[in-house]
Amino acid sequence: MNHSPNFTLLEAARWQDYELIDSGDGLKLERFGKYIFARPESQAMWKRALPASTWSNAHAVFQPTAEESGGHWIEKKKLPEKWEMKYPLAPTPPPLSKGEEQGLKELKFSVMTTPGRHLGVFPEVASHWDFMSDLVQKENRSVKVLNLFGYTGLASLAAAAAGAQVTHVDASKKSVGWARENQALSGLGDKPIRWIVEDAVKYMQREEKRGMKYDGIILDPPKFGRGPKGEVWEVYKSLPNLFEICRACLSDNPLFVIATLYAVRASAIHVAQTLDEMMKKYNGDMDYGELVTRETSANRLLSQAVYARWSSR
């Protein structure tokens, strides 16, 4: 790689509405808001730190099937259909008028149990929200951010709250609808966000032809997926091509590129090398590593994903 990147274990340490309570024996016990859930976690190879009585307090347990992401929730205690969570964003830029207090904004969003074992938020990626929010706020210019595979929109909302113009792309109409609801909950309805239901590769091919340019790109692809018209996404085959198209859609003065990969047999160094190839003509810094969550029970770290991110100098 052109520069000496830093290997980092990134923790999203500012959560109040989320907690990794315990893990072990192939499971993790988590709190989302005031509700507790037990989900499979193959990397939790150690023994649980807390007694079975604590684990039995879970409101719901996810029971997987033979399929990789298939399964269903077994509800142990009554749950609402959905509930609200919050995440405190970094401080806003200096006050515009004298005497106006500098305050913390926060994202507000709804979560719920889904057939895919997720609840509408990946708490560990909040460290990326803080990273790009800080970069956008420090720029004395209009910043255009593209969020591919944007899911329920939290990265898009964090970027918009920091002052960016955002284009959010996801193949799931349901996820984009959920993201728009989160925009309203967060009080960001006046922010410039374009919501696009489309296959990421097809959309970017059109953006390249249109000559569209972005200052920041967020890539959070699944291991496997299908677009609205049956387009197949397979991360090892599809991601290099998408990186190539994204490079053509970068502005002359890009601010950041963030790539996060879940559930793949890839080292963070491989993601970093691919991103380095994409960014080789730009002057910037790279860090790469793992997104981790720290238990409150035994202070152990649980690795959730690998990432690489580039930012301008």
- CATH classification at residue 106: 3.40.50.150
Q: Would you say residue 61 has pLDDT above 70?
A: yes
Residue 19 lies in a domain: yes
What is d(CA 270, CA 248) in angstroms, rounded to the nearest whole number? 21
The range of the structural domain enclosing residue 121 comes to 6-312
What is d(CA 139, CA 245) in angstroms, rounded to the nearest whole number? 25
Q: Which pLDDT value is given to residue 93?
A: 56
Give the strand order in the sheet containing 301-312.
6-11, 284-294, 301-312, 256-261, 216-219, 144-148, 165-170, 193-197
Q: How far is CA 273 from the centre of its chain?
A: 21
Count of CA atoms in the C-beta half-sphere (13 A) of 128: 32
Sole residue written with tokens 């209009």: 142
Strand-pair category, 83-91 with 104-111: antiparallel
Count of the separate structural domains present in the chain: 1
Q: What are phi and psi of 68, to 5 degrees?
A: -60, -45
Mean pLDDT of 57-67: 90
Q: Which residues contact 18 (CB under 8 A, 6 or more apart)?
A: 30, 31, 32, 85, 121, 123
Strand-pair category, 27-32 with 18-24: antiparallel
Q: Which pLDDT value is given to residue 152?
A: 97
Residue 1 lies in a domain: no
Residue 88 lies in a domain: yes
Count of CA atoms in the C-beta half-sphere (13 A) of 157: 28
220 within 8 A of 256, measured Cβ to Cβ = no
Sole residue written with tokens 């349901």: 174
Q: Would you say residue 271 has pLDDT above 70?
A: yes
Mean pLDDT of 254-260: 97
Residue 90 lies in a domain: yes
pTM: 0.91
Distances (CA, A) of 23 to 26, 27, 170, 302: 8, 6, 31, 8
Distances (CA, A) of 176 to 24, 143, 262: 34, 22, 20
Tokens of residue 54, six digits: 């604590």
Mean pLDDT of 270-282: 93
Tokens of residue 308, six digits: 């690489």
Residue 286 lies in a domain: yes
Q: Would you say residue 255 has pLDDT above 70?
A: yes
Q: Which pLDDT value is given to residue 99?
A: 47
Tokens of residue 274, six digits: 């691919």
Q: What is the pLDDT of residues 96-146, one digit of tens each?
A: 444 444 545 899 999 999 988 899 999 999 999 999 999 999 998 999 999
Tokens of residue 85, six digits: 């969570």
Lowest mean pLDDT among 88-97, 182-191, 273-282: 88-97
Helices (H), the chain: 52-55, 126-138, 154-161, 173-185, 200-210, 235-248, 268-278
Residue 94 lies in a domain: yes
Q: Sign of dihedral through CA atoms 303, 36, 259, 91?
A: negative
